[in-house]
Structure 1
Amino acid sequence: MRGWLIYKEHDRIRNEAFIRLLQQASAKRGMTLEVVIYEEMIYAVSGGASLFGRRENPDFLIIRTCTPWLNEAAELHGIRVFNSSRVSRTANDKRLSHACLSALGIPMLPSTAVHQRRLSSLSPSYPLILKDPLGRGGTGVDWVARPQQLGAMTADDELLMQPVGGQRGRDVRVYIVGGAIVAAVVRESETNFKANISGGASASLYRLSQEDTELIEKVTRALPIDFAGIDFLIADDGSLLFNEMEDAVGCRSLYDQSDIDIADVFIEHVAAQLK
């Protein structure tokens, strides 16, 4: 089987070690996995048998670019994609992920999708959190303490607004492969309300309770997740509050804190799906 691993150039550079692990795991199972740079491709969205112009379609795609349109276009050409377009769309738009998981009864902070021009008319309570709904890795997330800050916002026009909630600077990331929980880590920052490893947070393995596991399994039964991370805030009583999903989830903290090779776990799932 011949697959492509699609990255944007700046993400490829940052993820070279993980890419090697994916390729080694693929080779071990008799599959080839070629790295393809998103910006260098030409996509024949009409008028051709191949989505990729002069290049023959691969047997499967692992798309790590947070571009759901490409996942869906590939599916229209009969190519197996990891993750599916449905999961990619849901995970890469915080508005959609909150709407979908709220419909499943997953606890979360009250969340409002709003255009920036309407913020001042809402008279929200301060402090509050404003998020770029398409941001990832902690980017586009702002703590707003007073109304005067709204005029200086550099976020995109469309926003997700939430109250401040959960234990400050702590969250839990749950790694899902093939619809099953692989592991969870708790990320903690003493200096920032965001608990991103790239922002200097520390991490350790986290033991999920039975209630936590049942909550997460509500999500995995509803969404066909091949490989993703689900991030939760931790409420004051220790329960989990959904925060976001990561389609192209980062795995550094899991490798640092465990002997789990999640690249190998994921490729085992890919191989099983392609049989």
Structure 2
Amino acid sequence: MRGYLIYRKEEAVRNQAFIRLFCEEGKLCGISFEYVPYEEYCVRELPDFVLNRTRDAAVSRWYEKRNVLVFHSSLLTEIGNHKMKTLQYLQKTLPACVQKEKWAPVSFWLSKEKVLEWLAAAKRKEYEVFLEAHAFWETDGSCILKSVDGHGGSEVAELFIPYGKTGDKTQEAWERLYQTIFLFRGKECILQEKIASDSRDVRIYILGGQIYRAMARQGKKDFRSNFSLGGSAVCYDLSEQEKRYVQEFLQAFQGEMLGLIGLDFIIDRTGTLIFNELEEMVGTRMLYQNTDCNIVRDYVKWILCYYSRLF
């Protein structure tokens, strides 16, 4: 039995240890894993299954057309690597009992052109152009800007209202706004309200469509709690109520096979879980450094069982 691990070359370099783990654990289960560079996947002999770690839905679609089992599907890969598409999908599929309460931050999509328009407006100090941000600024004084395809806490920034402490529009505040937006030029973005959370969130690892482990993360330097940015992590025991709540999100994916993903929830100041993001190509370093879990071993075993049931 042969499986491909498809990565972009620069990602493969960063994930050498992860790839090696798959090869080692695969041998124990009679599976031969092979790393395949993104540039070469369509010229290789077809394998039995594929782990698409490129974040490119076209790769999954290519294998689906050839009836090769691929994790994850083109649909899941597409929505799981576009933050706005994730929210739009869940808005259509989550049950009313979840949506009647606050389940995600209020969010707006910003096109690349809109981001450039904002950049020019910040330079000209034209407050009225920032229409989508007005309600956030007037309520909390700031909001969150993210690229739709960033990961690991990269390409996430806080946009502060361009007013000084006295309410005056200050040169310094406008320059800070301009410099922040400048980082997102050429990027499709999502604008969100800032959830009061004391920089805490929980990542819930999903393996084979089931809750595997939850890890609470605490940010150190700013509002971001990502482990890769220096945040701390500890095991988090989900309550039965929280498990039922997360299960609603799993069911919302309507038959999509969730091989190994992460669901990130902000923990607000009341302790309520607010959905933040789906990590389709989830990292596992946090688990290996803070628990005795061997999620690669468990994932490989699950793949073997799942493949055996299908074929």
Q: What TM-score comes out, normalization by structure 2 length?
A: 0.81
Which deviations, in whole Å up to 9, do the C-alpha atoms of 1:79-135 show, x marking residues without a partner? 100111121112111001111223313611111112223762335232000110111
Q: Which amino acid aligns with 1:122?
A: E
Checking the alignment, whether the CA contact within 8 Å between 2:160 and 2:177 is kept in structure 1 is: no
Partner-residue secondary structure (3-state), 1:134: coil
Matching of residue 248 in structure 1 with residue 281 in structure 2: yes
| CA shift for structure 1 position 17 | 1.8
Q: Which residue of 1 aligns with 2:130?
A: 120
* Aligned positions of 1:20-169 closer than 5 A: 20-39=20-39, 41=40, 52-53=42-43, 55-103=44-92, 104=94, 105=98, 107-115=103-111, 116=115, 117=117, 120-124=130-134, 125-126=136-137, 127-147=142-162, 148=174, 149-152=176-179, 153=181, 154-155=183-184, 156-169=186-199
CA distance in 2 between counterparts of 1:31 and 1:114 reads 44
RMSD of aligned Cα (Å): 1.6
Matching residue of 2:9: 9
- 1:46 is aligned to none
- Name which of structure 1's ranges 173-182 and 151-160 shifts more when overlaid on structure 2: 151-160
Runs of 4+ in 1 over 4 A off after TM superposition: none
Please state how far the C-alpha of 1:12 moved relative to its aligned partner: 1.4
Give the deviation of 1:69 after TM superposition: 1.4
Question: Partners of 1:131 and 1:230 in 2: how far apart?
Answer: 17
- 2:204 is aligned to 174
**CA deviation after TM superposition for structure 1 residue 150, in Å:** 4.4
The 3 A distance-change label for structure 1 pair 165 and 79 is same
Give runs of aligned pairs for residues 171-250 of structure 1, distance below 5 A: 171-223=201-253, 224=256, 225-250=258-283
Across the two proteins, how many residue pairs are aligned to each other?
A: 264
Distance, in Å, in 2 between the alignment partners of 1:84 and 1:216 is 21
Deviation of residue 212 (structure 1)?
Answer: 1.4
**Structure ID, larger Rg:** 2
Specify which structure has the higher proportion of helix: 2
Shift of 1:191: 1.5
Given that residues 90 and 252 in structure 2 are in contact (C-alpha distance below 8 angstroms), is that contact kept between their aligned partners in structure 1? no
Is there any run of 5+ residues in structure 2 with no aligned partner, and where? 119-128, 163-173
Q: Is the 8 A contact 1:102 1:108 kept in 2?
A: no
How many angstroms does 1:222 deviate by? 2.7
Are 2:214 and 2:235, in contact at CA under 8 Å, matched by a contact in 1? yes
Which one-letter code corresponds to 2:209 in the other structure? G
Task: From the superposition, tell whether residues 58 and 141 of structure 1 become closer, same or farther in structure 2 (CA, over 3 Å).
Answer: same
Residue identity over aligned pairs, in percent, reads: 32
Q: State which of 273, 296, 310 in structure 2 corresponds to 1:263.
A: 296
Distance 1:111 1:123, change over 3 A: closer
Which amino acid letter does the alignment assign opposite residue 23 of structure 1?
Answer: C
Please state whether the residue corresponding to 1:108 is helix, strand or coil. Answer: coil
Q: How far apart in 2 are the matches of 1:123 and 1:144? A: 9
The structural deviation recorded for 1:175 is 0.3
8 Å contact kept, 2:5–2:53: yes
CA–CA separation in structure 2 for the residues paired with 1:199 and 1:231? 16
**SS at 2:297 equivalent:** helix
| 1:27-79 alpha-carbon deviations (Å, 9 max, x no partner) | 1111100011113x1x6xxxxxxxx23x3111110011111111112111111
Distance in 1 (alpha carbons) for counterparts of 2:133 and 2:286: 39
